Structure 1
Amino acid sequence: MSARPTRQPASAGASKPASPGRPKDLAKGAAILEAAKRMFLLHGYERMSMDQIAAEAGVSKLTVYSHYGDKQTLFLEAVKAHCEQQLPEALFEPSPATPLRERLLDIAAAFHAMISSPEAVAGHRLMCTPQIADSPLPNLFWEAGPRRIQNGFAALLQRRIEAGELEIDDVPRAAVQFFSLLKGEFHDRLVMGCALETTGSVDEHLKASIEMFLRAYGQRPGAARTRAS
């Protein structure tokens, strides 16, 4: 009689399939995220606890942990949600029918509105506090917010290059330059609480920044014909 195959014991390091468990309540998840945005900005990162956020959201602490795992993850999800709300992925879609200058102006207006909002200014100041500056949070914050925006814009630039509308050798650098132009002196003054200059409107500043960007990277007349010849 042949021996029956023996069942191998699972190794200690083998990962087990996650149990589906109960589906998460999306409304509670959204309430936690909104509460986290408010509480982090009002009281800072270090002084906030998951208990306080749970109380603000009207849920149990266990519910907060089941949705977001820990305070750091919740903070980063709040940053990501704020950026996605202000600069949705749709702004970085190819949309070849939309003229390049118009698309850049749409992105510029949304970006400027985001960075000048009270929430964004408070978050920027929070990242500069000594308690946060010496922690891993600034780098994580950068990846969850600014880096995501830069990457999305760089992908848009690459598609416009392929369409023959732009000439850019270093696309990631050009993406950084674009948003730096949009910030200008305005954002520095806003974060530091200085009186804002009144030389020209925000709309004029954004349009001038886009014109400068296009003068640097826009397709030169006859360039397409030169490459094709």
Structure 2
Amino acid sequence: MTTEAVVRKGRKYDQVLEGARDIFLRDGFEGASVDDIARAAGVSKATLYSYFPDKRLLFMEVATDQCTRQAEEALGTMDFSKPPRTVLKEAARRFLSFIYSDMGQRIFRICVAESDRFPELGRQFYQSGPQTVHRALVAYLAQAQARGEVSIDDLNLAADQFAELCKADLWPKLIFGIQVQFDQADVDRIVDGAIDTFMARYET
């Protein structure tokens, strides 16, 4: 069942989402209670269920909303007229700021944990954020290539490679609980290394 088939939009929809986001961030998916979500949103449980009959659907909607916002913010900062190193640095910083955030981590873990029983969670997460940014990056690289700044045979692969380079070192440490906090110097080291490696391969 998809969210489009069961989620109702109405005047308190945004209010419910905001309250749910706060509780999911505080308590996680399993720990979040419908009572607490309704209280944080300032609505009755009946109103909450009228919008979201299932807690998983509510989390999916919160995750999709957060991913969409992050993607829109990232795309809003991408000036396709600027050179690759400038655009890639901004894109990488936006990308990492989300995947290292509390919400980004919770979304990822829940999507992985529930992927067998509820594969639509992962699909919706991917389509609402990563896929949108991926397409924008492919479009940018195509323009950079037309200007003679890069030479790339497979734009889709190159966009994916850059995203993976941005997850080097820190992401595995985060996922396996080896390190849970990173300062700006840590992030800058990864971003600069990703750009240097990417441009060493594709810069003309």
- Indicate the TM-score class for this superposition, using the shorter chain for normalisation: 0.7 to 0.9
Matched residues, number: 190
CA contact (8 A) 1:76 1:144 kept: no
Superposed displacement of residue 39, structure 1? 3.1
Secondary structure of the equivalent of 1:134? coil
1:163 deviates by 2.6
Q: Is this contact kept in 2: 1:35–1:56, CA < 8 A?
A: yes
Give the CA deviation at 1:207: 0.8
Q: How does 1:90-169 map to 2 (within 5 A)?
A: 90-94=76-80, 96=81, 98-129=82-113, 131-136=114-119, 137-169=121-153
Structure 2 unaligned blocks of 5 or more: 1-8
Measure the CA separation in 1 of the matches of 2:141 and 2:125.
24
Change (3 A) 1:205 1:63: same
User: Which residue does 2:154 correspond to in 1?
Assistant: 170
Q: Which residue of 1 aligns with 2:4?
A: none
Contact 2:23 2:32 in 1 (8 A): no
Q: Structure 2-normalised TM-score?
A: 0.75
SS in 1 for 2:167: helix
- 1:36 maps to which of 16, 20, 43: 20
Match of 1:206 in 2: 191
Shift of 1:179: 0.8
State the match for 2:63 in structure 1.
79
Once the two structures are superposed, what CA deviation does each residue of 1:37-94 show, in whole Å capped at 9, x if it has no partner? 2333424169655x65333211245655676786555433322332343341313452
Change (3 A) 1:147 1:73: farther
**Structure 1 residue 169 displacement after superposition:** 1.6
Give the direction of change, closer, same or farther, for the CA distance of 1:101–1:72 in structure 2 (3 Å limit): same
Residue 157 of structure 1: CA displacement? 1.7
Compared CA separation, residues 78 and 92, structure 1 to 2 (3 A)? farther
Q: Deviations over 1:85-110 (max 9, x none)?
A: 3341313452x1x3321111111111
Q: Report the Cα distance in structure 2 between the residues aligned to 1:29 and 1:153, rounded to whole angstroms.
A: 32
Q: 1:48 to 1:90 in 2, by over 3 A?
A: same
Using a 3 Å threshold, how does the CA distance of structure 1 residues 85 and 138 change in structure 2: closer, same or farther? closer
Corresponding residue SS for 1:184:
coil
Q: TM-score, normalised by structure 1?
A: 0.68
1:165 is paired with a residue whose SS is coil
CA distance in structure 1 between the aligned counterparts of 2:28 and 2:85, rounded to whole angstroms: 40
Specify every segment of 5 or more residues in structure 1 that has no aligned partner in the other structure, as ranges.
Answer: 1-22, 221-229
Contact 2:20 2:37 (8 Å CA) reproduced: yes
Question: Hey, what's the Cα distance between the residues in 1 that align with 2:175 and 2:78?
Answer: 27
User: Cα distance, 1:161 vs. partner?
Assistant: 2.1
Higher relative helix content: 2
Superposed, 1:38-77 pairs within 5 Å as: 38-41=22-25, 42-44=27-29, 49=34, 53-61=37-45, 63-64=47-48, 74-77=58-61
SS at match of 1:128: helix
